Amino acid sequence: MRRSLTLLLAAALLCPGAQPVRSRKAMVVSREANATDAGVAILQAGGNAIDAAVAVGFALAVTHPSAGNIGGGGFMLIRFKDGRTTFIDFRERAPLAATRDMYLDKDGNPTQDSVRGWRAPGVPGTASGLEYAHRKYGKAKWADAVAPSVRLAREGFTISYGLAQGLKGSKAMAQFDESKRIFQNNGRFFEPGDKLVQPELARVLDRIQKVGAKDFYEGETAKLFAKQMAANGGLITLDDLKAYQPAERTPLQSKFRDKYTIITAPPPSSGGIGILQMLSVLEKTGYEKNGAGSAQAIHFTAEAMRRFYADRAEHLGDPDFWPVPVSKLLSVNYLNKLRASIDPDKATNSDAIKAGDIATMESAETTHYSIVDSEGNAVAVTYTLNGGYGSGVTVPGLGFLLNNEMDDFSVKPGHPNMFGALGGEANAIVPKKRPLSSMSPTIVLKDGKPFLVVGTPGGTRILTSVMQVIQNVLDFDMNIQDAVNFPRFHHQWRPDKLYLEPQISPDTRRLLEQKGHAVEIARSICEMASIQFEDNGWLAGAADPRVEGKAAGY
Ligand code: GLY
């Protein structure tokens, strides 16, 4: 007995799993190295996690142009050192001139206008949201938080292998001269090791640094933006920009297995409700006893996913415009009913699932970053242009790409959007309304203390991936790096398919098919940026090896 315990301990020491980056006081994990470094620098200079979130957000707008942005929007979840929490919603809003059927042709069929070009963007929220967060909760000077982005745009930065591939591969940008000029070197393309210098964007960021977000919404940038919109058939006007306001909301919060508290995104994100509903359904199934990655654990989890996405399509939208039935979707009776409807041996046909009585494959091109400071504040930010490089449009003279977030509305209720998403009346287009999102920045507490900060891009796959990382740590006892690295899967009700990363074994695939799942291989599902507070007091930062992220701290 003693001998086998010794052997076990020795094995654990020899095979400690994938190792996260560890630091004592503070940690930043983002999708791009320069942006992570900008966050760490401001923390070391005495800024807090909110200042770092501003610095990383603006830096990514320069160095990760497919998703980092000032032409898009997003969500910031904060848990302060004293236990308070808040959620800043700087999601884009539909322009004042938007109409419910604006993306339908004369026969009532959806056009491509919600996806590409000047009519696709919602009114951007990023500059306003970051400024709001900083003004209310930051500590450093605004100019210091914006400074790294100005420098990176003005002096340029080295293009990585992944960025070179991404810029070259964007068909969206190839259609618009200004995007093609700036990001694709006029069709000659950049090579890894080249420098990307963005003087127009540097001037915009410089004005934001000096004047504040006011420049973006009312000043020189706003006027030029509105002029270009009008000249190119876009809808966003100066009045739209002036009217933009972020919203501060109360995060959703729920217990999991007694000792954990999940704090997550409220509507207009669908993510928080989804994560809480799916975890609560799974909690009493005993699914975890089958082991991580087992066909049975995947089956139960996929069945919980399938059920939530039916609710998502029917009930979820911007809470300022639609009464989202949050408490009903998370009520004990309803969760019991959902749980009871899962057959342990057989996949349920999605045709047999309707939303409760009381889907989607959006683009992977969103981005997430997680930050913890030395005081114990934790921040999780997910923001986006929606599709990779958004609408493909760069505003001439301003150097920033515009989102195509209008496609996150159900452009025709009941009709799948560009990534197969279904939506209903709850998510129909209305002026000033925010489209439904899947972005799910999430913080987990253990015994009331911060434990995990997690999030990812990936459209509708966001919430299922965030949930899997949480399951991997809480239910399968993995460290955060193993939890992030572990192969993922996804189900979203419609289409009735179970997507598996290729690393899930052929044997497991076969077992899932035998249960009736329509399995499809997905090359890569999401890119997490996560932090764990380890029991020994260290912070563990885990970038996702699927992409070129960076975790760093001190
Ligand atoms: N555009 C991606 C999302 O908000 O879910």
Q: Is the pLDDT of residue 553 over 70?
A: yes
Q: Which pair of structure tokens corresponds to residue 503?
A: 């690393």
If one compares 17 and 230, the residue with the highest pLDDT of the two is 230
Q: How far apart are CA 406 and CA 93, in angstroms?
A: 8
Residue 548 lies in a domain: no
Q: Is the pLDDT of residue 92 over 60?
A: yes
The share of the chain scoring above pLDDT 70, in percent, equals: 94
**List of residues 6+ apart from 491 with CB closer than 8 A:** 302, 303, 305, 306, 309, 464, 497, 498, 499
Q: Which pair of structure tokens corresponds to residue 306?
A: 């399938």
Residue 165 lies in a domain: yes
Q: How far apart are CA 368 and CA 546, in angstroms?
A: 14
Mean pLDDT of 93-107: 96
Q: How many CB atoms lie within 10 A of CB 193?
A: 10
Nearest atom within ligand 1 for CA of residue 384: 1
pLDDT tens digits for range 212-224: 999 999 999 999 9
Residue 191 lies in a domain: yes
Q: How far apart are CA 301 and CA 280, in angstroms?
A: 11
The Å distance, Cα 38 to ligand 1 centre, comes to: 25
Nearest atom within ligand 1 for CA of residue 457: 2
Q: Which pair of structure tokens corresponds to residue 56?
A: 């990383």
How are beta strands 73-79 and 378-384 bridged, if at all? antiparallel
Question: For residue 484, what pLDDT is reported?
Answer: 98
Residue 453 lies in a domain: no
Q: Where are the beta strands (DSSP E) in 94-218?
A: 157-158, 195-196
Q: Is the pLDDT of residue 1 over 50?
A: no
Residue 118 lies in a domain: yes
Residue 53 lies in a domain: yes
The Å distance, Cα 53 to ligand 1 centre, comes to: 19
> 103 near 113, Cβ under 8 Å?
yes
**Displacement of CA 178 from its chain's centroid (Å):** 27
Alpha helices for 357-493 (secondary structure H): 461-474, 480-485
Question: For residue 362, what pLDDT is reported?
Answer: 37
Q: How many domains does the chain have?
A: 1
pLDDT band at 498 (very low <50, low <70, confident <90, very high): very high
Mean pLDDT of 182-192: 98
Question: For residue 5, what pLDDT is reported?
Answer: 46
Nearest atom within ligand 1 for CA of residue 270: 5
Cα angle, residue 389 at apex, residues 76 and 275 outer, rounded to 5°:
40
The Å distance, Cα 437 to ligand 1 centre, comes to: 4
**So which residues are the catalytic ones?**
366
How are beta strands 498-500 and 519-521 bridged, if at all? parallel
Per DSSP, 434 falls in state P
Atom 1 in ligand 1: residue holding the nearest Cα: 386
Element (H, E) at 301: helix 295-315
Choose one of 386, 407, 456, 463 to mutate for the ligand 1 pocket test, by most ligand atoms within 8 angstroms of C-beta: 386
- Entry pTM: 0.95
Mean pLDDT of 429-451: 97
Residue 412 lies in a domain: yes
Pick from 234, 247, 204, 203: nearest CA to 222: 204
Segments forming the whole domain that contains residue 95: 46-69+89-248+384-427
478 by DSSP, 3-state: which? Answer: coil
The Å distance, Cα 382 to ligand 1 centre, comes to: 9
* Residue whose pair of structure tokens reads 């986006």 in the numeric block: 384
Q: How far apart are CA 502 and CA 524, in angstroms?
A: 8
pLDDT band at 255 (very low <50, low <70, confident <90, very high): very high
Mean pLDDT of 70-98: 98
Residue 214 lies in a domain: yes
The Å distance, Cα 95 to ligand 1 centre, comes to: 18
Choose one of 273, 462, 463, 526 to mutate for the ligand 1 pocket test, by most ligand atoms within 8 angstroms of C-beta: 462
Atom 4 in ligand 1: residue holding the nearest Cα: 437
pLDDT band at 8 (very low <50, low <70, confident <90, very high): very low
Question: For residue 420, what pLDDT is reported?
Answer: 58
pLDDT tens digits for range 306-338: 999 999 988 999 999 999 999 999 999 999 999
Question: For residue 17, what pLDDT is reported?
Answer: 87
Atom 3 in ligand 1: residue holding the nearest Cα: 437
> 93 near 408, Cβ under 8 Å?
no
- Residue 62, classified by CB atoms within 10 Å of its CB into exposed (0-12), middle (13-18) or buried (19+), is buried
| Mean pLDDT taken over the chain | 94
The share of the chain scoring above pLDDT 90, in percent, equals: 90
Nearest atom within ligand 1 for CA of residue 387: 1
Q: Is the pLDDT of residue 421 over 70?
A: no
Q: How far apart are CA 182 and CA 173, in angstroms?
A: 10
Angstrom CA distances, 122 to 128, 354, 433, 536, stand at 14, 30, 9, 45
Choose one of 66, 69, 90, 362 to mutate for the ligand 1 pocket test, by most ligand atoms within 8 angstroms of C-beta: 362
Nearest atom within ligand 1 for CA of residue 405: 1
If one compares 353 and 144, the residue with the highest pLDDT of the two is 144
Question: For residue 130, what pLDDT is reported?
Answer: 99
pLDDT band at 14 (very low <50, low <70, confident <90, very high): low
Q: Is the pLDDT of residue 7 over 70?
A: no
Mean pLDDT of 418-432: 80
Ligand 1 pocket, residues with Cβ under 6 angstroms: 362, 366, 384, 386, 405, 408, 437-439, 459
Q: Which residues pair with 378 in a beta bridge?
A: 79, 372
pLDDT band at 15 (very low <50, low <70, confident <90, very high): low
The Å distance, Cα 325 to ligand 1 centre, comes to: 21
Cα angle, residue 529 at apex, residues 524 and 534 outer, rounded to 5°:
125
pLDDT tens digits for range 274-305: 999 999 999 999 999 999 999 999 999 999 99
Q: How many CB atoms lie within 10 A of CB 289?
A: 10
